[in-house]
Amino acid sequence: SQTIHQWPATLVQPVGSPLSLECTVEGTSNPNLYWYRQAAGRGLQLLFYSVGIGQISSEVPQNLSASRPQDRQFILSSKKLLLSDSGFYLCAWRRIANEKLFFGSGTQLSVL
């Protein structure tokens, strides 16, 4: 069976510090991978998606970036966090040509 792992579960970082959130998928190959952010009181916003190694599509210009160094690994990064980066970040995956999206358990990021 397929599983998705996302860590850390919670993170408190000062403004201006770097960020690295990691997501890995097990039990499948060549998945489509996604990063979403949920800000307080708002819906889910798609940040990045990837259809293959090294292929990243950015939905929203901001100080975040994403990378896919391996087939089942998706990393969300920032060189300098802003207060507005606080939120709940969710990694997700799906098989190509299948509409169902599977979500990780999320990371609650607080930037102080």
| Residues near another protein (CB under 8 A) | 6, 32, 34, 36, 41-46, 49, 51, 57, 59, 90, 92, 94, 96, 99-101, 103-106, 108
- Least distance from another protein to the Cβ atom of residue 48, Å: 11
In sequence order, which residues have a C-beta less than 8 Å from that of residue 61 and are 6 or more positions away? Answer: none
- Least distance from another protein to the Cβ atom of residue 97, Å: 8
Of the pair 48, 78, the CB lying nearest another protein is at 48
Distance in angstroms (rounded) separating the CA atoms of residues 86 and 27: 31
Distance in angstroms (rounded) separating the CA atoms of residues 105 and 109: 13
Of the pair 79, 110, the CB lying nearest another protein is at 110
Of the pair 69, 99, the CB lying nearest another protein is at 99
Pairing assessment for the beta strands 10-13 and 107-111 based on DSSP bridges: parallel
Distance in angstroms (rounded) separating the CA atoms of residues 66 and 21: 9
